[in-house]
Amino acid sequence: MLLALTQWLAEDVRFFSVFNYITFRAVLAAMTALFISFLVGPTMIRKLTAYKIGQSVRNDGPQSHLIKAGTPTMGGALILTSIAITTLLWGDLHNHYVWVVLLSTLGFGVIGWVDDYRKVVHRNPKGLSARAKMGWQSVVALVVGVYLWKTASLPANTELIVPFLKFLVFPLPAFMFIALTYLVIVGSSNAVNLTDGLDGLAIMPTVMVSGALGIFAYVAGNAVFSKYLGIPYIPGAGELAVFCGAISGAGLAFLWFNAYPAEVFMGDVGALALGAALGTVAVIVRQELVLFIMGGVFVVEAVSVMIQVASFKLTGKRVFRMAPLHHHYELKGWKETQVVVRFWIITMLLVLMGLATLKLR
Amino acid sequence: MIVENQMKKCGTQALGETHVRAANVTATPNASVRFWIITMLLVLMGLATLKLR
């Protein structure tokens, strides 16, 4: 909305032309989302506490977590509100990719919100059933996949590119493209949700990965840079840098309240939505495999759960002391803050590796 | 009530220790992370000067 206003003002005052630059609006989006969250955050936490929207803690989890019971949850609503307002303010609303990522994120947010609401407000420990949750996630992800396939105007929009290997490009048929989109969005969403088990553990990697995806989006949307770096040119994808900036800003502000000892948890409403946002951006900028590298912490957390469940069902033995992986390290004697910061450091390294794929190909 | 019951299961002594530890370490990680966030914000502002000139 503000972009249209500044473009109109730029006709008379040259200074306003600076708002046409995506990079500038991405930085502004990060700051706007950050300040919205800072302004609304304390009030929201007070209200969540007043309405007794508190997290229940799993009985079989580490005992040190029992003191977290009652901490307000559903703080993800704060993140989503900030992201949505900021994107509507600074994004180019004529760009269909902006709407795809925004609606996909909010769609997953609604699923998470319903789940949280049933668990916390209705005191129904099961929340949304696993089948219903997966069903609705599948609906949103498939709609995104089909829409992106139908609106693809260039071969690059539907090709799978392989990091580090410039000439290894796989043109995907409709079925494969939609299946890959589905896997990336739903997988990323659930992986972030599984990672969200310690204070600040999920949000900081999300901030870092979204920042890096913003760079990929900017480069992919720029004809000169994409040609120079040898990555697919996706016209219009650059605008997603604004959306990624909004995620980073809102995420950082949320971390302010979510850092150990957390004043609020994001809940499924935040975790499912943020994971879906990362997945959707990665699909649009054709960097699914790079997301797999950069989001390595999310991947390992999800894989640890799969291994634990499979091993227990097949052999009756557990591979990890507890799954997801962060609990394993806690039970090994690491302090919660050590696990969190070490996982952040690993993510930083992985994000650097992901960014290196821009040049190393 | 639920929390109290869960805490009782942990054993009083262990619970006491957890509380003492939590009280002692509460401020530090929170403060350091918040200082990191402020630094990131300042870095972002610094980067914005690339365009705003």
Q: For residue A253, which residues of chain B lie inside 8 Å, CB to CB?
A: 37
Reported confidence tier of residue A306, pLDDT bands at 50, 70, 90 = very high
Counting one residue from chain A and one from chain B, the pairs whose CB atoms sit within 8 A come to 63
Residue of B nearest to A253 (CA): B37
- Alpha-carbon span A183 to A193, nearest angstrom: 15
- Write out the two tokens for A30: 């990060």
Q: Which residue, chain included where needed, has tokens 């997603």?
A: A240
- Alpha-carbon span A288 to B4, nearest angstrom: 46
Is the link from the previous residue into A125 a cis peptide, with omega within 30 of 0?
no
Asked if residue A145 has pLDDT above 50, the reply is yes
- Can you give the pLDDT at residue A124? 75
Query: How many angstroms away from the CA of B8 is the closest CA of chain A?
Result: 11
Q: For residue A260, which residues of chain B lie inside 8 Å, CB to CB?
A: 29-30, 33
Q: Is A250 an 8 Å CB contact of chain B?
A: no
Q: Is B8 an 8 Å CB contact of chain A?
A: no
- Indicate the pTM of the whole model: 0.89
- Alpha-carbon span A328 to A340, nearest angstrom: 13
- Can you give the pLDDT at residue A58? 64
**pLDDT tens for residues A177-187?**
999 999 999 99
Q: Where are the alpha helices (DSSP H) in A155-239?
A: 174-195, 203-220, 223-229
Sorted by sequence, the CB contacts under 8 Å of residue A139 that are 6+ apart come out as none
- Where are any strands of DSSP class E within chain A? 159-162, 165-171
Residue of A nearest to B50 (CA): A24
Q: For residue A338, which residues of chain B lie inside 8 Å, CB to CB?
A: none
Long-range contacts of A200-203 (CB under 8 A, 24+ apart): A200/A255, A200/A258, A200/A259, A200/A260, A200/A262, A200/A340, A200/A344, A200/B33, A201/A326, A201/A339, A201/A340, A201/A343, A202/A266, A202/A271, A202/A274, A203/A251, A203/A254, A203/A255, A203/A258, A203/A266, A203/A270, A203/A274
Residue of B nearest to A336 (CA): B29
Q: Is A42 an 8 Å CB contact of chain B?
A: no
- Alpha-carbon span A133 to A218, nearest angstrom: 33
Sorted by sequence, the CB contacts under 8 Å of residue A315 that are 6+ apart come out as none
Mean pLDDT in consecutive groups of 10 residues from the start of chain B, 53 residues = 41 36 54 91 84 70
Q: For residue B41, which residues of chain A lie inside 8 Å, CB to CB?
A: 31, 34, 252
**pLDDT tens for residues A259-302?**
988 999 999 999 999 999 999 999 999 999 999 999 999 999 99
Interface test with B, best of A6, A57, A58, A63 (most B CBs within 10 A): A63
How many percent of chain A have pLDDT more than 90? 77
- Can you give the pLDDT at residue B12? 33
For A226-254, what is the mean pLDDT? 95
Residue among A57, A252, A260 minimizing CB distance to B40: A252
What are the residues facing A160 on neighbouring strands?
Answer: A170
- Can you give the pLDDT at residue B5? 46
- Which residues in chain B (33-52) have CB-CB distances under 8 A to chain A? 33-34, 37, 40-41, 44-45, 47-48, 50-52
For A22-43, what is the mean pLDDT? 94
